[in-house]
Structure 1
Amino acid sequence: MTATTRSRRSTGPDPACVEAVDLARAAAAEAAPGEIGDHLGFDSEDERLVTHRFATTNPAYVGWHWAVTVVRASRAKEVTVSEVVLLPGETAVLAPPWVPWAERFQPSDLGPGDILPPPENDDRLVPGWTGETDAPYDPADGGAYADTVASVADELGLGRARVLSPVGRADTVDRWYSGDRGPEAPLAAAAPAQCATCGFLLPLAGSIARVFGVCANEQAPDDGRVVSYDHGCGAHSEIVATAASLGERPPPVLDHVEYDLVERGGPQDETDEVVVEVVTEPDPE
């Protein structure tokens, strides 16, 4: 039996690639003439693949560095440049992470004439009833049954191609209830009473009416908005108007009986002047 000898591969970086600092610097200088600083070291990416790092002197890129990747092909003696790129370091100033348009869009971004279709397969919507069904038609009543079904559907608010799904309804309730018109809002915490007992609250329809209504007080900050029953503000219909609640205060009482004598004078005055100052103290009564 003939023994086969296998050569061991070196586990360290390729010496030729490590020594190719001048080659890497020349490649970086070609990409950014006059902006290449000190050699910051190298990283061994793979077998015969090394990336040299150079500081950049461009004041607009503080904390960045040039990364030049060099490679030596198998059985080749020459080292060649594979890639030259400017990369940020730990202290580099970077732009905020990119956020998809659908996630960064705000309701206030929608202006007149803008179109915002719902996404495909939106789980907030489910098919509704539009009346375009095979309703039974009886020639004897001239289609009165179908007309009755359509009338009832219209009265119930049906007739839309899609309506809110249970998921969409739950998301809406959570968003409204935890927002500025829910019970946890600072305005509600300082309110003397809740919207459930306010005469300006207009009820809604459907299952959501058990939690929310619409404020109809033109002097309230939530006028025309959906509010929870346990929300509240200072414009409650049952609040009795008083001078204290309206921010009015009685005029101050001045005591004109007592006074102090204060002497004022200086080296430039020919005579001293006596000034009477009235002490404004509240009436003890």
Structure 2
Amino acid sequence: MTTPDATIDLQTRPTTAVAKLDSACAAAVELAREAAVEASELEIGEYLGADAVADRIVTHRFAATVPGYTGWHWSVTVARASRSKSITVDEVLLLPGADALLAPAWVPWNERVRPGDLSPGDLIPADPDDSRLVPAYTLSDDPAVESVATELGIGRVHVMSREGRLDTAERWQLGETGPDTAMARHAPAHCGTCGFYLPLAGSLAAAFGACGNAIANSDGRIVSVEHGCGAHSEVVIEVASLSEPIGEVYEDEQFV
């Protein structure tokens, strides 16, 4: 239950004041235009209007005619002190409008680099906080590396974490050498039954291996055990026998 003391008068609640357009600053269109011309050293386009920024601070807008800056405008802010008739220019900016052509948002280099971008001599260090890597002295929960991981100072500094291996397995499974490709769907059998299939070690051994068939498109690449191609080691092509004559045979003597 609301008590009289707790009642809030909505009409007395403070509201955010809206700045009024100062008439003196709003009339300083030519001053603003001259400032824009001086800053740009180019011809200024049509006047687009003025906006109140704060008390006695007004921004004038002019269309920009700068080549390559379609949709941009010059923004000139003018102001005056309280009880002063002298108007000064605060700043001149070239700003984009709603339809302006803008460059894409900046992306850090380590996020721009994509698989396949690495060239000979390029160096791409791993992120220090990369969740796909863990120190080798911790248990990686991969039996193939645990025997080495406990030997401090021996072996690799980092090994792949469980998260890193799961991420890798998903990428390989959904990639060009996974099971859901046209090559795999038309294959006579899976890679897991191929004599050229070389299984990986460790926790990924049951799902992935390397292709060792020089004639296959995936030679030297990691393939899913469910991938496949027409170069499977057990492929047998049945060739029709030509020992039996096809159709009726005629002797030459019959036509002499």
TM-score range, shorter chain: 0.7 to 0.9
TM-score normalised by L of structure 2:
0.74
Amino acid at match of 2:64: T
Unaligned runs of 5+ in 2: 1-16, 139-146, 241-256
Label 1:12 to 1:229 Cα distance change in 2 as closer, same or farther (>3 A).
same
Tell me by how many angstroms 1:11 deviates: 4.2
Label 1:71 to 1:243 Cα distance change in 2 as closer, same or farther (>3 A).
farther
Match of 1:19 in 2: 27
Does the CA contact (< 8 Å) of 2:19 and 2:52 recur in 1? no
1:84-99 maps to which residues of 2 (within 5 A)? Answer: 84-99=92-107
Does the CA contact (< 8 Å) of 1:128 and 1:163 recur in 2? yes
Label 1:177 to 1:48 Cα distance change in 2 as closer, same or farther (>3 A).
farther
1:1-285 maps to which residues of 2 (within 5 A)? Answer: 11-129=19-137, 153=148, 159-241=155-237
- 1:136-192 Cα deviation digits (max 9, x unpaired): xxxxxxxxxxxxxxxx749x9x72221111121111112211222212233323333
Label 1:41 to 1:186 Cα distance change in 2 as closer, same or farther (>3 A).
farther
Tell me by how many angstroms 1:21 deviates: 1.0
RMSD over aligned CA atoms reads: 2.6
Amino acid at match of 1:96: P
Does the CA contact (< 8 Å) of 1:52 and 1:68 recur in 2? yes
CA distance in 1, matches of 2:89, 2:18: 22
Deviation larger for 88-97 or 61-70: 88-97
CA distance in 2, matches of 1:38, 1:243: 82
Label 1:219 to 1:81 Cα distance change in 2 as closer, same or farther (>3 A).
same
Label 1:234 to 1:16 Cα distance change in 2 as closer, same or farther (>3 A).
farther
Tell me by how many angstroms 1:240 deviates: 2.3
What is the aligned length? Answer: 213
Task: Report sequence identity in percent.
Answer: 56
CA distance in 2, matches of 1:176, 1:14: 65
Label 1:20 to 1:188 Cα distance change in 2 as closer, same or farther (>3 A).
farther
Counterpart of 1:71 in 2: which secondary structure?
strand
Label 1:56 to 1:92 Cα distance change in 2 as closer, same or farther (>3 A).
same
CA distance in 2, matches of 1:73, 1:177: 69
TM-score normalised by L of structure 1:
0.67
Q: Which has the higher contact order (CA 8 A, sep 6+)?
A: 2
Tell me by how many angstroms 1:52 deviates: 1.2
CA distance in 2, matches of 1:76, 1:192: 90
Amino acid at match of 1:17: C
- 1:28-52 Cα deviation digits (max 9, x unpaired): 0001233201001122222322221
Does the CA contact (< 8 Å) of 1:129 and 1:159 recur in 2? no
CA distance in 2, matches of 1:10, 1:174: 55
CA distance in 2, matches of 1:96, 1:190: 42
Amino acid at match of 2:194: C
Does the CA contact (< 8 Å) of 1:56 and 1:66 recur in 2? yes
